[in-house]
Amino acid sequence: MGIIKIKNIRIYAYHGCLVEEGKIGSDYRVDVSVKADLSKSAKTDNLSDTVDYVYLNKIVKQEMAIRSKLLEEVVKRILNRILDEIPLAMKATVAVSKLNPPIGGNVAMVTIEMTKSRGKS
């Protein structure tokens, strides 16, 4: 087994419960980690034998573009797509962070992180 990580995907999106958040948006950071059997790709040197991180990034961008009130819902959608669309992925962890959240204080970010394994909810 091996782990493919993408750290600090920066995206501007429109998530949040406040009406203003849907209008003006915020900066977000997304981190993705996927556990998969990488032994074949280590031998063959073929992209088709591994988890394509370009495709992972595409999933993140597409799901972040869909407005949600809660980051939990966004994370769940990203996890589901990774496990549904990438057969090699056995387990995935996704963290979505809202940078400088509007919570009335000097807070760098708020993060929701969830993990899902193949065959488990």
Task: Report the pLDDT value the prediction gives residue 20, as an integer from 0 to 100.
Answer: 81
Q: Is 98 an active-site residue? A: yes
pLDDT in tens, 16-43: 888 888 888 999 999 999 999 999 999 9
pLDDT-derived band of residue 102, with 50, 70 and 90 as boundaries? confident
Residue type, 38: L
Higher pLDDT, 119 or 107: 107
Full strand arrangement of the beta sheet holding 89-99: 2-13, 26-36, 89-99, 109-117
Higher pLDDT, 22 or 51: 51
Cβ neighbours of residue 16 closer than 8 Å, sequence gap 6 or more: 22, 26, 69, 98, 102
Across residues 5-26, what is the average pLDDT? 91
Catalytic residue among 35, 76, 91, 98: 98
pTM of the predicted protein model:
0.93
Assign 3-class secondary structure to the chain.
Answer: CEEEEEEEEEEEECCCCCHHHHHHCEEEEEEEEEEECCHHHHHHCCHHHCCCHHHHHHHHHHHHCCCCCCHHHHHHHHHHHHHHHCCCEEEEEEEEEEECCCCCCCCCEEEEEEEEECCCC
Say whether pLDDT at 15 is over 70. yes
Instruction: Determine the Cα–Cα distance for residues 108 and 9; give it in Å rounded to an integer.
Output: 16
Task: Report the pLDDT value the prediction gives residue 30, as an integer from 0 to 100.
Answer: 98
